[in-house]
Amino acid sequence: MGMLCLIMLFCVIYEVVARYFFNAPTLWSMEVNQYLFCIISLMAGGYCLVRDGHVRVDLLYPKLSAKGRAITDWCLFPLALLLCGLLVWFGWQETWDSIVDRRISDSVMGMPLWPAWLSVPVAGFLLGIQIISRLLGHIVDLKSSG
């Protein structure tokens, strides 16, 4: 993901230099950056969960025992899994339709839309795998005493 951020950074720098120093803006920079931002934003969910970086209300959760946190996650994570399932299902439908119908963007570049749409089900799947991993890891906490 860091490499995608670097690619996006260099695209923006190139666009700024080309536009303001050489008065030669690019046709591709904005659209490529939108695609990269879409992919980075979607893929960040699973990565953030791996690093335990998601925002939550920290009034009660940190004060709970390991078992209490496990119970809380077991109650809330199925909702997140439902969201992941929806992302995979509808994202794949849109990806497939974009491939079959050969959909392209409305910009001058006319880039195919399926790569951006493909990031939706892939991100949903990876986030779902991480949620399942988290839930399985909590089994030990649930079996432990109070």
pLDDT tens-digit readout, 64-117: 787 877 888 888 888 989 999 999 999 999 999 999 999 998 888 888 999 889
Q: What is the pTM of this model?
A: 0.77
Q: Which residue, 46, 56, 106, 104, is CA-closest to 76?
A: 56
Both tokens assigned to 18: 């080309």
Higher pLDDT, 108 or 7: 7
pLDDT at 10 over 90: yes
Contacts of 104 (CB under 8 A, 6+ apart): 110, 111, 112, 113
Residue tagged 């700024």 (tokens):
16
The mean pLDDT value for 132-142 works out to 82
E strands in 31-141: none
Instruction: Output the pLDDT for position 146.
Output: 52
Which has the higher per-residue pLDDT, 65 or 129? Answer: 129
Judged by DSSP in three states, 68 sits in: helix
**Which pLDDT belongs to residue 51?**
82
| Strand ranges, E, within the chain | none
Q: How far is CA 104 from each of CA 39, 111, 116, rounded to the nearest angstrom?
A: 17, 5, 11
Mean pLDDT, range 17-41, rounded to an integer: 89
What pLDDT does residue 79 have? 92
Q: What percent of the chain has pLDDT over 70?
A: 95
Question: What confidence score (pLDDT) does residue 145 get?
Answer: 56
Total H helices, total E strands in the chain: 4, 0
- Does 118 score more than 90 pLDDT? yes
SS3 144: coil
What is the Cα–Cα distance from 27 to 120, expressed in whole angstroms? 25
52 vs 40, which has greater pLDDT? 40
Q: What mean pLDDT, rounded, does the chain reach?
A: 86
